[in-house]
């Protein structure tokens, strides 16, 4: 038979998950934007460093190769890679917390139903 302490524990877990979802919400929006535009961001960065070589008459292939060899390009690319990794972690955490929330919500409904019996 279910009792108040079980229901209280489930309510606490539901509240914790809800609070975490509230704190993650703005970060999730930013993370989704980074994920959506990652390719464009990387292409734009490469173009920024390849453009001077193209203006000097280099072929596209040579300009891209020289741009990628630039240590500053590599540092800026690493920043984009780190942002992508952080975004994936944020989305994964959001999904895990959402599952916890939904599970707690279902358990709470079950506990309340048991108390009625």
Is pLDDT of 108 > 90?
no
Residue with tokens 């992508």, as numbered in its chain: 84
Q: Kindly give, in sequence order, each residue whose CB lies less than 8 Å from that of residue 114, ignoring residues fewer than 6 positions away.
A: 1, 2
| Four-residue CA torsion sign, 31, 33, 36, 41 | negative
The pLDDT assigned to 1 comes to 43
In the numeric block, which tokens belong to residue 22?
């509230």
pTM of the entire predicted model: 0.79
In the numeric block, which tokens belong to residue 24?
């993650």
pLDDT digits 0-9 by tens, 3-16: 667 778 888 888 99
């Amino acid at each position: 038979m279910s009792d108040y302490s079980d229901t209280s524990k489930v309510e606490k877990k539901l509240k914790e998950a809800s609070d975490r979802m509230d704190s993650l919400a703005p970060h999730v929006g930013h993370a989704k934007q980074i994920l959506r535009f990652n390719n464009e961001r990387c292409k734009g960065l490469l173009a920024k460093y390849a453009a001077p070589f193209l203006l000097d008459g280099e072929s596209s292939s040579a300009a891209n190769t020289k741009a990628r060899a630039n240590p500053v390009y590599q540092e800026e690319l690493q920043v984009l890679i780190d942002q992508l990794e952080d975004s994936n972690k944020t989305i994964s955490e959001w999904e895990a917390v959402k599952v916890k929330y939904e599970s707690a919500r279902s358990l709470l409904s079950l506990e309340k139903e048991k108390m009625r019996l």
